[in-house]
């Protein structure tokens, strides 16, 4: 599904953004239908492996460095501020995803004959993972916050002015109580603070009814969202130090990593970003707000590192799109605004 | 599979004791073949639901109280001390088995968009279950140790004299380090101390690779082994108090119980127990040792409560039988000793 039009802008959409990526394609199609050509060389890059760690993306970028050369990349994988207010995302959290297994006894044991006298890997794993956060919600991996680039007071001030509906954000997922690292607002927690969430856990008997087993092992998947300044490899070393310091006698860890990417912060004074802002204003009648995003879009980092240019993140999703959940949606109004916006941004970028 | 011979002794074997229960049956068959009759009225009760909480056993005992009336019950579901030394088990731990689910957000969430700012049920569940034990291995449920019947110094002394091979016990399951409640030996921990083991845990994404999800819920199964004096209902109340005191805002527990039985302690001066000891000595050439067992055999409690008589626990399993594991075994020598022993016990009991 790779379509090539020339060299100017690289576009991309992930699995949860099937609607978003079509805004791009449709904008180019419309432009081409009206003008018979495009205003510059454009490469469209569609990548469908992001959610599984993009194993082929880096080799692909490396192998096609020349063909993919451009001035800037426009990524369509983020949200509008709301259905009437466009947004450009200039901060994206990075990610480090791990799977750990704690191995104990050589085989599953009867909890009556061994319970209370031998290592139980589930008891041990919950005890260790239960120490990831302290009582103030701070992640306890050694060095975790050492390199975090602090938010400026200007950024905090601008975000406070956005009028974020915290209650609505929570009610949308059946909750009422803000939660997380102390001394930060919900927006700051999602956009600018590093976190650790356990994404999966399993061990022992998980079927119906009961089985009195002490299993030979227990496993969990967990991931850290990283912010600007944090080096995923250094964070991984801190996690291993944390786990190893807590390994029970006779136990051993098996650790796998699935995906590792640094956070992104795009300079707000970039001329490309300024042009994208003007293009969005042309369609919405007001300039976009500059925001952060909690999710990771690793390709932005790879494009910077391998191809050597910045990305502008302009997307048209909404907070309640239920991405990665049943009944995911992408609204028609967002779809149409997205198509018009991409055409307008193209015009502004072609206006040099 | 119920066989009825008369009224004197009730016998029983669980799923993991297919070999053991046959020692009983074969002893009666042999006796009958030699003598043409049995030395008294004997009822054989085979129960196959123990590992799933025996849902039909209590109603069955209640409905057949008269037919099941006897002087004593002989249960064949325990171990010899070793292949050459018989044992009578006079202490059996009870059990309380729970499944708990911690419900949080209304649906699964993307950890990028929500991570660090909302309740993650796996983070919370590991944090809560990780507090079940303190640093000295003591269970933290309120009131957990209040009613524990203390071991006498004589009992501790007798057990120390058994020459228990702790290193061998651990090596057999791939471990080296004794573990559990501080200030108790391994035998005491298994036979006479209450414990809590997590038997299963699950939540979020548990397949191959990665998925950046914050799940709506997380679950665990865990069980307490109880000792003489502890009331399962009181322990359950303590567990609920422990969980409720730690419920995160906006979360709720769903709690199911699977099986609940008090511990058993048979008086060592019972004449039936003395006769069983003599019968075992007739076969092995030495008296049995009196031991405890970590597993639960709830029927012993039900027989005491509903039918009103004690049980004598004589079994022929070995420590390395791998019960509840792959490659479970019951040795032929144990099988033959068991058959002879049951015939000898029958003779001693018939000798009144």
Residues 258-277 of chain B with CB under 8 A from chain A are 258-259
Higher-confidence residue of A283 and B267: namely: A283
pLDDT at B16: 52
Residues 28-87 of A with CB under 8 A from B: 51-53
pLDDT at residue B167 greater than cutoff 50: yes
How would residue B47 be classed by pLDDT, with cut points 50, 70 and 90?
confident
pLDDT at A3: 34
Q: At residue B69, what are phi and psi to the nearest 5 degrees? A: -55, 140
User: How do residues B277-334 score in pLDDT, each as one tens digit?
Assistant: 999 999 999 999 989 887 777 788 889 889 999 899 999 998 778 777 777 788 889 9
Looking at A27-36, A190-199, B280-289, B326-335, which range is the least confident one? Answer: B326-335
Of B51, B195, B259, the CB nearest to A116: B195
Residue A1 confidence class, pLDDT cut points 50, 70, 90: very low
State the average pLDDT over residues B22-37.
92
- pLDDT value at A12 more than 60: no
Instruction: State yes or no: pLDDT of B232 exceeds 70.
Output: yes
ipTM for this model: 0.81
Q: What average pLDDT does the segment A163-187 reach?
A: 93
What pLDDT is stored for residue A16 in this prediction? Answer: 53
If you average pLDDT over residues B13-22, what whole number do you get?
A: 64
B238-257 exposure pattern, b = at least 16 Cβ within 10 A, e = fewer: bbbebbeebebebbeeeeeb
**Facing B111 at nearest CB: one of A114, A197, A293:** A197
**Secondary structure of residue A52 in the 3-state scheme:** helix
**Of all residues in chain A, what percent carry a pLDDT higher than 70?**
95
Contact residues on chain B for A128, CB-CB shorter than 8 A:
130
The fraction of chain A above a pLDDT of 90, given in percent, is: 66
Q: Closest Cα of chain B to A234: distance in Å?
A: 20
Band of the pLDDT at B50, cuts 50, 70, 90? confident
- Mean pLDDT within B12-22: 61
Q: What's CA B136's distance to the chain center, in Å?
A: 24
Quick: pLDDT tens for A47-81. 888 777 788 999 999 999 999 999 999 999 888 99
Segment B199-227 mean pLDDT = 96
B6 has pLDDT over 60:
no
What number of C-beta contacts closer than 8 Å exist between A and B?
A: 325
Task: Sketch the domain layout of chain A as residue ranges.
Answer: 3-92+263-350, 94-148+194-261
pLDDT at B220 over 60: yes
pLDDT digits (tens, 9 = 90+) for B67-118: 999 999 999 988 899 999 999 999 989 999 999 999 999 999 988 889 899 9
**A180/B contact by beta carbon, under 8 A:** yes
pLDDT at residue B352, as a whole number: 54
Q: Please list every residue in chain B whose beta carbon sits closer than 8 Å to the beta carbon of residue A202.
A: 201-203, 206
Which CATH code fits A94-148+194-261? 3.30.70.360
- Among chain A residues, the shortest Cα distance to B137 is held by A116
pLDDT value of residue A13: 37
Predicted local confidence at residue B269, as pLDDT: 82
Tell whether the model's pLDDT for residue B172 goes beyond 60: yes
The top-scoring range by mean pLDDT among A21-35, A327-341, B198-212 is B198-212
Cα separation, B181 vs A115, whole angstroms: 11
Query: Is the pLDDT higher at A102 or at B157?
Result: A102
Which of B201, B214, B296 lies at the smallest CB-CB distance from A218? B201
Which of A80, A95, A126 to mutate to test binding with chain B, by most B CBs within 10 Å of its CB? Answer: A126
Contact B201 A200 (CB under 8 A): no
Taking an 8 Å cut-off on Cβ atoms, the answer to whether A199 and B211 are in contact is yes
For residue A36, which of A26, A28, A45 has the smallest C-alpha distance? A28
Tell me, yes or no, if the two domains B3-92+263-350 and B94-148+194-261 fold the same way: no
CATH entry 3.40.630.10 includes domain B3-92+263-350: yes
How confident is residue A352, by pLDDT bands cut at 50, 70 and 90? low
Residue-wise pLDDT tens digits, A251-270 = 999 999 998 888 988 888 88
Tokens read off for A102: 């704690």
Closest CA to A68 of A306, A298, A327, A334: A306
Q: Collect all residues of chain B within an 8 Å Cβ-Cβ radius of residue A130.
A: 126-131
Three-state SS string across chain B, please? CCEECCCCEEECCCHHHHHHHHHHHHHHHHHHHHHCCCCCCCEECCCCCHHHCCCCHHHHHHHCCCCCCCCEEEECCCECCECCECEEEEEECEEEEEEEEEECCCCCEEHHHHCCCCCCHHHHHHHHHCCCECCCCCECCCCCCCCCCCCCHHHHHHHHCCCCCHHHHHHCCCCCCCCCCCCCCHHHHHHCCCEEEEEEEEEECCCCCCCCEECCEEEEEEEEEECCCCCHHHHHHHHHHHHHCCCCCCCEEEEEEEEEECCEECCCCCHHHHHHHHHHHHHHCCCCEEEEECCCCHHHHHHHHHHCCCEEEECCECCCCCCCCCCCCCCHHHHHHHHHHHHHHHHHHHCC
The model's pLDDT over B236-293, given as tens digits with 9 standing for 90+, comes to 999 999 999 999 999 999 999 998 888 988 888 889 999 999 999 999 999 999 898 8
Q: Is B176 an interface residue toward A (CB < 8 Å)?
A: yes
């Amino acid at each position: 599904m790779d379509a090539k039009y020339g060299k100017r802008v690289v576009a991309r959409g992930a699995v949860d953004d099937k609607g978003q990526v079509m805004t791009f394609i449709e904008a180019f199609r419309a432009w081409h239908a009206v003008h018979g050509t495009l205003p510059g060389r454009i490469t469209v890059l569609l990548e469908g492996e992001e959610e599984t760690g993009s194993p082929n993306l880096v080799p692909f970028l490396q192998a096609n460095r020349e063909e993919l050369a451009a001035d800037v990349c426009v990524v369509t994988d983020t949200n509008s501020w709301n259905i009437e207010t466009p947004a450009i995302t200039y901060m994206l959290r990075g990610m480090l995803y791990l799977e750990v297994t704690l191995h104990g006894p050589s085989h599953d044991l009867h909890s009556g004959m061994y319970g209370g006298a031998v290592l139980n890997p589930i008891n041990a794993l919950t005890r260790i993972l239960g120490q990831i956060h302290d009582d103030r919600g701070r992640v306890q991996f050694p060095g975790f916050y050492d390199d975090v680039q602090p938010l400026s007071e200007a950024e905090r001030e601008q975000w406070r002015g956005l009028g974020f509906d915290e209650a609505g954000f929570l009610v949308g997922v059946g909750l009422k109580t803000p939660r997380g690292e102390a001394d930060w607002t919900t927006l700051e927690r999602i956009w600018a603070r590093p976190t650790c969430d356990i994404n999966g856990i399993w061990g022992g008997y998980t079927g119906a009814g009961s089985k009195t087993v002490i299993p030979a092992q227990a496993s969990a998947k967990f991931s850290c969202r990283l912010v600007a300044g944090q080096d995923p490899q250094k964070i991984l070393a801190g996690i291993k130090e944390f786990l190893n310091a807590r390994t029970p006698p006779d136990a051993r860890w098996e650790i796998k990593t699935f995906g590792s990417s640094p956070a992104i912060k795009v300079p707000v004074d970039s001329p490309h970003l300024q042009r994208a802002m003007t293009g969005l204003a042309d369609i919405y009648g007001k300039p976009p707000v500059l925001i952060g995003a909690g999710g990771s879009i690793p390709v932005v980092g790879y494009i910077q590192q391998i191809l050597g240019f910045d990305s502008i993140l302009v997307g048209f999703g909404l907070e309640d799109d239920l991405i990665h959940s049943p009944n995911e949606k992408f609204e028609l109004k967002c779809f149409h605004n997205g198509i018009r916006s991409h055409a307008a941004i193209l015009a502004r970028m072609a206006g040099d």
